[in-house]
Amino acid sequence: MWRSEPVVPADSFYEVRPECTNVPKTKFKIRAGKTLSERKWRSAFNPEGQLDIGKTLNRIQRGGIHPSIRGEVWEFLLGCYDPKSTYEEREQTRLRRRAIYTNWKADCKIMFPIIGSGRYVTAPMITEDGYPVHDPIVLLQMNPDAQIGNLTDGNTTPTPNMDVEPIKDKKEIEWKLTLHQIGLDVVRTDRTLVFYEKQENLAKLWDILSVYAWIDTDVGYCQGMSDLCSPMIMLLEDEADAFWCFERLMKRLRGNFKCTDRSVGVESQLNNLASVTQVIDPKLHQHIDHLGGGDYLFAIRMLMVLFRREFSFCDSLYLWEMMWALEYDPSLFWMYEEVDSSDDNAEGSKLGKLKSLRQCGKYERENMKNAGKSSEAPLPISVFLVASVLKDKSDKLLNEARGIDDVVKILNDVTGNLDAKKACTGALKLHKKYMKKVPMKP
């Protein structure tokens, strides 16, 4: 006779340091019959290892993922693995990717030996001219709060060592100039969690972000990436697996971090948010615009780090997996993989077979149904999530906001008080409303 799995409080999987008493509690509840459990997850695979992704998405959309299997489910949601792959094929892919990451990390270690040493830096290691810095501060097994304090007491100006040859390679200089900034962000990331009391976990986060900054030359490293990468470190034990999960997430979000002299990468998302708000709540948009917030820059953090600061840690993970399940497109795996250009027809055939309504998330299904009707490309669900928060706070914003600072304050008050499932439900409703009103193709 089957026995139900014991219900364990979701917060217990992400232990908070005892001295952190003001951390918001999660609203996510593990519900038997709704939350994707380990038993249901295992039963979704056939004997060869192929996953029934449609059934899995439905379960996630109803009640999220049990924390014990979250990491391995995320790998599928983010497109790391093809749901139609077998156990053997995934193992081959996993080993290949681990080898690639190991090689990249080894290249970085040659240039900067602290990579992979279990240490990290929070002080500049070179000058902008490529000269090494005299006596750089390398942080090892020290109190993170003390680390930041040491660096703000007038010790942050690098002193160049003119006795050695400077680095000539521009890419290497730019990369090394980011390493201490990565370190500063790492020691500030999720500091309320017991997990990051361990030096090795901080170093692992620093290593992954440093390697990513080296291989993605267009984006490098930007503030906020540590918030996106941190959960991967906690959910996936192998560092290389965590890296690839983060890399897949960045494939979706890297446009937000690309900046030029003229604009920030997230600007297009903010413009989309303004357009959506103008359509679904013109009175609110007009009020925000009148207050000087028509650029919607007050929402930049929500879009950049996907509500990591507005939800408790556990709830932000629940929100992410709800979003990814709703947006899931089975062709993600093929879109993200290197494709042999000589086999374009075969690849197109695979995409055609993979792309079916049943295998897509609810939000993606709506976009597929609306394809050809709207004059606009599909917008990410994150835009409608922010719009749903604004809509929910519409009365308060209209009645109490007398300046843009008031808008920021009202939105800051939602921190820790948002419900992930309610937010996603609101986003779906706004999306339907928006699609009914946006211009149709002639």
| C-alpha torsion sign, points 160, 166, 172, 173 | positive
Whether residue 213 is predicted with pLDDT greater than 60 in this model: the reply is yes
Domains and CATH numbers, the chain: 23-87 (no CATH), 89-257 (1.10.8.270)
Helix (H, G, I), strand (E, B) or coil at 316: helix
Answer with the residue of higher pLDDT: 388 or 168.
Answer: 388
The neighbouring-strand residues paired with 138 are 121
pLDDT digits 0-9 by tens, 319-354: 999 999 999 988 877 667 654 333 444 444 444 444
Q: Give ∠ CA 338-339-344 in degrees, rounded to 5.
A: 170
Whether residue 433 is predicted with pLDDT greater than 60 in this model: the reply is yes
pLDDT digits 0-9 by tens, 374-420: 656 789 999 999 999 999 999 999 999 999 999 999 998 877 778 88
Model confidence at 264, pLDDT cuts 50, 70, 90, reads low
Q: What is the pLDDT of residue 239?
A: 98
Radius of gyration over alpha carbons of the chain, in Å?
23
Q: What is the pLDDT of residue 150?
A: 31
pLDDT digits 0-9 by tens, 52-82: 999 999 999 989 999 999 999 999 999 999 9
**Mean of the per-residue pLDDT values for the chain?**
85
Q: Strand 120-121 vs strand 138-139: parallel, antiparallel, or unpaired?
A: antiparallel
Name the token pair of 93. 């892919």
Model confidence at 134, pLDDT cuts 50, 70, 90, reads low
Q: What is the pLDDT of residue 164?
A: 66
How many percent of the chain have pLDDT more than 90?
59
Q: What is the pLDDT of residue 349?
A: 40
Q: What is the pLDDT of residue 145?
A: 42
Whether residue 2 is predicted with pLDDT greater than 50 in this model: the reply is no
Q: What is the pLDDT of residue 438?
A: 79
Q: Which of 137-151, 222-236, 285-299 has the lowest mean pLDDT?
A: 137-151
Q: What is the pLDDT of residue 382?
A: 94
pLDDT digits 0-9 by tens, 80-103: 999 999 999 999 999 999 999 999
**Predicted structure pTM score:** 0.88
Whether residue 154 is predicted with pLDDT greater than 50 in this model: the reply is no
Model confidence at 228, pLDDT cuts 50, 70, 90, reads very high
Residue pair 366/256 in contact by the 8 Å Cβ criterion: no
Q: What is the pLDDT of residue 373?
A: 62
Whether residue 437 is predicted with pLDDT greater than 60 in this model: the reply is yes
User: What CA–CA distance (Å, rounded) separates 269 from 318?
Assistant: 22
User: What CA–CA distance (Å, rounded) separates 184 from 186?
Assistant: 6
Name the token pair of 2. 């089957």
